[in-house]
């Protein structure tokens, strides 16, 4: 856990290896309630992946998340981090090794940004200089300016900026795991989108195993390497966004992901997923897009340009082949037929 | 009334102030305020009383703070404690001050101790209520963040909850201090010293200058101490002054 972070040279990003999180028949039963809030929940999040827990309110997703750092006690079953039971660890030690970001942000208003980010490192006994270096580095990583912002108080920042500080604080001691409970839920849509993108970029740079709770299916599709859909304390389906959209396990999942799930798939697939036609299939006048463009954006371009074909290029602009409206339709269509049959 | 016998001003019948042979016209005719007499007598008659007054207040606030803040923390952690302590503190607070001082005399005598016991009792309700309100006003999200970061309950209390309760605690401290500075004047009635001594004395003799000088000094003392406490509050809660910057 946290003590696995060896001292590194100042200015160099500290990285611990991400850990595997496994739920094993986890039950949460509140006294006096007939139905358990979480019932025999079992799933595994591989190291370095973002697993999104999603479902209607009251489905037990937040309860499941908070049992990992034992903000909520586990009634039965176990949760392990790299094979080690969270029930066997000392509470403070467990929590100092897990980054926690939640909707209400919960920054300490009486501490400066540096004081906030440095909270856990101080508990771990880091030197002042190391905390300062780490704070500057993280602040820059989340898109704020260490020169001006380190010495300011949380009250001086907007909601979106505060949550950026919240993310930096959660990552301060370089925990191998992060728990995020609707972290962007209270942020306005434009800032939320930026935060989502920045967090994905950040996650690409600094791999953490992340459990991410949301009730927004679009956010789940965007953020999750894997999505776990919950209902009434049960896990209904867990798979990649594309699989869940293509093959919803039942009526509930199908209606939960939305009637437009075919369109939503366009967001998770890219031009790379197509078997491209010959490079000369499209004329030179056709628009060209990079291969990592989502099918959603590619389709949008085709519709906007009034064409049914586009050129696909690699990151350097070399033409790889052509893509057509038909290809996109074929990639999405067969699955649709099966699942609605 | 024996407490008043220690006062230096000769209090006899007949003329108000008979012992000032070379006294100015202002003194002899007992005008509202004789500035030259005040300045001549400041260092002997008023300055020691001023310091006594401050000491009376400081001791009462100090002991009261220790008691009230401990009680507030206890009540914050164990809710059942709130009602009994509030009841006792509120009861003490309702006792008229002169009566309270009188009640203490048969128990602890005519002295400082009696005065301090009464004064401390008056601080409890204000300090306790404010500190408890401050602690209870700490946002749940802040406490959740502290717990989730692995702060122990004690670390959370001392590093997060108490600092965040400081504005409310300081507000209580200001009210309590001003109240005690005012009440401490009455404490001279049982020989506790302070600015109440010249006031009681002047009531006896009718010497207006002494009465007004001591009274105004008590008021100024309250104002100055209050301003100083505001300064302290600003110093220790720098975050509460800076507000949201529009982005």
What is the mean pLDDT of the segment spanning B217-230? 96
- Reported ipTM: the value is 0.82
B247 interaction partners in chain A (CB closer than 8 Å): 157-158, 161
Cα–Cα distance measured from residue A268 to residue A247, given in angstroms and rounded to the nearest whole number: 14
* A45 compared with B30, residue with greater pLDDT: A45
> Out of A10-14, A208-212, A279-283, which region has the weakest mean confidence (pLDDT)?
A10-14
pLDDT band for position B247 (cuts 50, 70, 90) = very low
Contact A69, A91 (CB under 8 A): no
Q: Between chains, do A120 and B152 touch, taking CB under 8 Å as contact?
A: no
Q: Using a CB–CB cutoff of 8 Å, tell me whether A120 touches chain B.
A: yes
When mean pLDDT is compared across A9-18, A152-161, B130-139, the lowest value belongs to: A9-18
- Chain B contact for A91, CB < 8 A? yes
A104 contacts in chain B (CB < 8 Å):
139-141, 144
CA B31/CA A259 separation, integer angstroms: 94
DSSP, residue by residue, B151-219 = --HHHHIIIIIHHHHHHHHHHHHHHHHHHHHHHHHHHGGGT--STHHHHHHHHHH--HHHHHHHHHHHH
Q: What is the nearest CA distance from A170 to chain B, expressed in angstroms?
A: 8
Q: pLDDT above 90 covers what percent of chain A?
A: 67
Q: Which residues are registered as beta bridge partners of A239?
A: A227
- Average pLDDT value for chain B: 88
**Cα distance from B67 to chain A (closest Cα, Å)?**
25
Return the residue of A nearest to B153 by Cα: A92
Contact flag B242-A123 (C-beta cutoff 8 Å): no
Chain B residues in contact with A108 by the CB 8 A cut-off are 142, 145-146, 160, 164
**With bands split at pLDDT 50, 70 and 90, how would you rate the model's confidence at A280?**
low
Give me the mean pLDDT over the B184-199 stretch. Answer: 91
Across the beta sheet with A76-81, the strand order is: A38-45, A21-28, A76-81, A84-85
pLDDT at A60 over 90: yes
Distance from CA of A90 to the nearest CA of B (A): 10
pLDDT digits (tens, 9 = 90+) for B138-191: 999 999 999 999 999 999 999 999 999 999 999 999 999 999 999 999 999 888
Q: What percent of chain B has pLDDT over 70?
A: 89
A1 pLDDT higher than 70: no
DSSP-assigned states of every residue in A178-238: EEEESTTTTS-HHHHHHHHHHHHHHHHHS--EEEEEES-HHHHHHH-SEEEEEETTEEEEE
Residues of A in contact with B148 (CB under 8 A): 69, 71, 95, 98, 100, 102
Per DSSP, the three-state class of B57 is helix
Do the chains contact at A155 and B242, CB–CB below 8 Å? Answer: yes
Say if residue A318's pLDDT is above 90.
no
Distance from CA of A277 to the nearest CA of B (A): 48
What pLDDT does residue B52 have? 94
Q: How confident is the model at residue A310 (pLDDT cuts 50, 70, 90)?
A: confident
Judged by CB atoms closer than 8 Å, whether chains meet at B160 and A108 is answered as yes
pLDDT tops 80 at residue A221: yes
Q: What is the pLDDT of residues B35-67, one digit of tens each?
A: 888 998 899 889 999 999 999 999 999 999 999
**Any chain B CB within 8 A of the CB of A3?**
no
Of B151, B237, B245, the CB nearest to A156: B245
**Which residues of chain A are within 8 Å of residue B157 when distances are taken between CB atoms?**
none
Confidence band (pLDDT; 50, 70, 90) for B91?
Answer: very high
CA distance A44 to A143: 31
Write the residue in B140, B149, B243 that is nearest to A96 by C-beta: B149
Do B141 and A105 lie within an 8 Å CB cutoff? yes
Residues 6+ apart with CB under 8 A from A272: A291, A292
Contact A110 B148 (CB under 8 A): no
Q: Which residues of A touch B243 (CB under 8 A)?
A: 155-156
Give B-chain residues touching A171 at CB under 8 angstroms: none
| Residue percentage of chain B with pLDDT more than 90 | 69
Q: In terms of CA atoms, which chain B residue is nearest residue A160?
A: B247
- Give the C-alpha separation, A156 to A159, whole Å: 10
Which pLDDT value is given to residue A287?
82
Mean pLDDT of A129-153: 94
Q: Are residues A152 and B242, on separate chains, in Cβ contact within 8 Å?
A: yes
Query: A198 burial class (0-12, 13-18, 19+ CB within 10 angstroms)?
Result: middle
At residue A320, the pLDDT reads 87
What confidence category does residue B88 fall into, taking pLDDT thresholds of 50, 70 and 90?
very high
CB nearest B242 (choices: A91, A102, A156):
A156
């Amino acid at each position: 856990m946290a003590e696995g972070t060896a001292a590194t040279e100042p200015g160099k990003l500290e990285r611990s290896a991400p850990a595997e999180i496994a739920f094993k028949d986890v039950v949460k039963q509140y006294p006096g309630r007939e139905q358990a809030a979480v019932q025999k929940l079992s799933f595994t999040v591989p190291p370095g992946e973002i697993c999104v827990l999603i479902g209607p309110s009251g489905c037990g997703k937040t309860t499941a998340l908070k049992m990992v750092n034992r903000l909520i006690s586990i009634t039965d079953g176990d949760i392990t981090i790299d094979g080690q039971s969270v029930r066997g660890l000392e509470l403070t030690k467990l929590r100092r090794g897990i980054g926690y970001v939640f909707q209400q942000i919960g920054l300490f208003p009486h501490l400066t940004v540096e004081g906030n980010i440095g909270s856990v490192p101080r508990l771990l006994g880091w030197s002042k200089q190391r905390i300062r270096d780490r704070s500057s580095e993280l602040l820059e990583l989340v898109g704020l300016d260490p020169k001006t912002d380190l010495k300011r108080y949380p009250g001086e920042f907007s909601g979106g900026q505060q949550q950026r500080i919240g993310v930096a604080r959660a990552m301060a001691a370089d925990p191998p795991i992060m728990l995020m409970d609707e972290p962007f839920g209270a942020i306005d849509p434009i800032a939320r989108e930026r935060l989502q993108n920045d967090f994905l970029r950040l996650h690409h740079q600094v791999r953490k195993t992340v459990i991410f709770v949301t009730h927004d299916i679009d956010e789940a599709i965007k953020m999750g390497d894997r999505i776990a859909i919950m209902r009434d304390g049960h896990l209904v389906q867990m798979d990649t966004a594309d699989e869940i959209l293509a093959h919803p396990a039942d009526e509930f999942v199908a209606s939960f992901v939305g009637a437009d799930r075919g369109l939503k798939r366009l967001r998770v697939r890219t031009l790379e997923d197509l078997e491209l036609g010959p490079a000369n299939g499209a004329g030179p006048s056709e628009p060209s897009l990079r291969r990592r463009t989502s099918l959603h954006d590619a389709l949008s371009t085709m519709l906007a340009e009034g064409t049914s074909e586009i050129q696909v290029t690699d990151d350097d602009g070399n033409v790889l082949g052509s893509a057509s409206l038909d290809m996109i339709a074929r990639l999405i269509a067969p699955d649709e037929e099966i699942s609605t049959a | 009334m024996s407490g008043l016998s220690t006062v230096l001003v000769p209090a006899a019948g007949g003329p108000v102030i008979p012992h000032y042979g070379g006294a100015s016209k202002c003194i002899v005719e007992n005008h509202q305020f004789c500035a030259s007499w005040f300045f001549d007598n400041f260092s002997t008659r008023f300055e020691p009383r001023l310091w006594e007054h401050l000491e009376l207040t400081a001791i009462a606030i100090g002991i009261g703070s220790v008691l009230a803040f401990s009680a507030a923390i206890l009540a914050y952690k164990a809710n059942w404690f709130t009602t009994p302590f509030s009841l006792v503190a509120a009861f003490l607070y309702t006792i008229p001050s002169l009566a309270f001082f009188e009640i203490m005399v048969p128990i602890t005598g005519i002295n400082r101790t009696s005065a301090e016991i009464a004064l401390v009792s008056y601080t409890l309700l204000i300090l306790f209520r404010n500190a408890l309100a401050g602690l209870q006003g700490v946002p749940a999200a802040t406490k959740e963040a502290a717990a989730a970061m692995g702060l122990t309950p004690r670390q959370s209390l001392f590093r997060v909850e108490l600092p965040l309760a400081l504005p409310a605690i300081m507000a209580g401290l200001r009210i309590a201090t001003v109240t005690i500075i005012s009440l401490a004047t009455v404490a001279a009635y049982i020989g506790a010293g302070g600015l109440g001594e010249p006031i009681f004395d002047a009531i006896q003799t009718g010497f207006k200058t002494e009465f007004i000088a001591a009274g105004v000094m008590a008021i100024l003392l309250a104002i100055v101490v209050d301003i100083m406490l505001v300064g302290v509050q600003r110093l220790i809660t720098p975050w509460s002054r800076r507000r949201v910057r529009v982005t």
